[in-house]
């Protein structure tokens, strides 16, 4: 599994990244149109900033978050200590290609900058399709292969885990996820949007 370089870890854990995440979570919540009764999954939550923003901006009935890196989950555990005292937040070390959740559990899955770290990134998208309820929303923000090779070239990334927008859309369709409208951009990412799990889709 690809690990982040020291430089990327520093950037991901910087105040600048936290500032951008506030905008991203607000945008995801606008796209997903969730009620506080929703069950939300924060995939690749890193140090838990996005998770705490989901609590601050929606406070969903149930919230799960995971990351592959135990040191990031430790940081998240400290940040979210108060919320972890009740049963409404589930935080774990887990792999996006083998999510420890039952089928059709979530109303929404959010992720920023995670899938391009996963060598078998299509398996991660299949897992998103599996854990979403029919009609559930997947809000994503990723860099394209072109962006990884250009803007992000000082950060080492395995080329097999990158994709272009067409490959991304095709893999979403294979996972039973239909993209709504054109792909969009955010400051760090050029493959952003929301996809809906097909109603009645078997995973």
Ligand X SMILES: C[S@@+](CC[C@H](N)C(=O)[O-])C[C@H]1O[C@@H](n2cnc3c(N)ncnc32)[C@H](O)[C@@H]1O
Least distance (Å) between residue 191 CB and ligand X: 14
Least distance (Å) between residue 87 CB and ligand X: 23
Least distance (Å) between residue 60 CB and ligand X: 18
Contact indicator for 61, 39 with CB cutoff of 8 Å: yes
H or E segment and range at residue 200 = none
Centre a 10 Å sphere on the Cβ of residue 183 and count the other Cβ atoms it contains.
Answer: 17
Rank residues 35 and 159 by Cβ distance to ligand X and give the closer one: 159
Rank residues 53 and 177 by Cβ distance to ligand X and give the closer one: 53
Rank residues 178 and 190 by Cβ distance to ligand X and give the closer one: 190
- Nearest residue to ligand X, scored by beta-carbon proximity: 46
Contact residues for ligand X, defined by CB under 6 A: 1, 4, 12, 17, 21, 44, 46, 50, 67-69, 72, 95-97, 112-114, 117-118
Outline where DSSP puts E strands in the chain.
39-43, 62-67, 89-93, 106-112, 132-142, 177-179, 184-186, 189-197
Angle at 33 between CA 137 and CA 124, to 5 degrees: 20
Least distance (Å) between residue 199 CB and ligand X: 27
CA 183: distance to chain centroid?
16
Rank residues 21 and 52 by Cβ distance to ligand X and give the closer one: 21
Least distance (Å) between residue 37 CB and ligand X: 24
The full length of the chain comes to 203
Rank residues 94 and 177 by Cβ distance to ligand X and give the closer one: 94
| Nearest Cα to Cα of residue 188 among 157, 152, 162 | 152
């Amino acid at each position: 599994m690809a690990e982040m370089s020291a430089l990327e870890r520093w950037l991901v854990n910087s105040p600048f990244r936290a500032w951008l995440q506030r905008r991203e979570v607000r945008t995801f919540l606008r796209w997903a149109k969730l009620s506080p009764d929703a069950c939300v999954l924060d995939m690749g939550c890193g140090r838990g900033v996005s998770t705490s923003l989901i609590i601050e901006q929606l406070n969903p009935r149930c919230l799960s978050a995971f990351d592959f890196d135990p040191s990031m989950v430790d940081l998240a555990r400290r940040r979210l200590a108060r919320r972890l005292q009740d049963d409404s937040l589930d935080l774990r070390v887990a792999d996006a290609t083998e999510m420890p959740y039952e089928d059709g559990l979530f109303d929404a899955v959010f992720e920023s900058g995670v899938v391009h770290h996963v060598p078998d990134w299509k398996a991660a998208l299949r897992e998103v399709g599996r854990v979403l309820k029919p009609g559930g929303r997947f809000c994503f923000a990723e860099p394209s292969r072109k962006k990884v090779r250009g803007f992000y070239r000082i950060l080492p990334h395995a080329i097999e885990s990158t994709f272009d927008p067409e490959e991304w859309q095709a893999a979403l369709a294979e996972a039973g996820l239909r993209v709504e409208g054109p792909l969009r951009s955010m400051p760090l990412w050029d493959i952003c949007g929301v996809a809906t799990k097909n109603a009645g889709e078997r995973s």
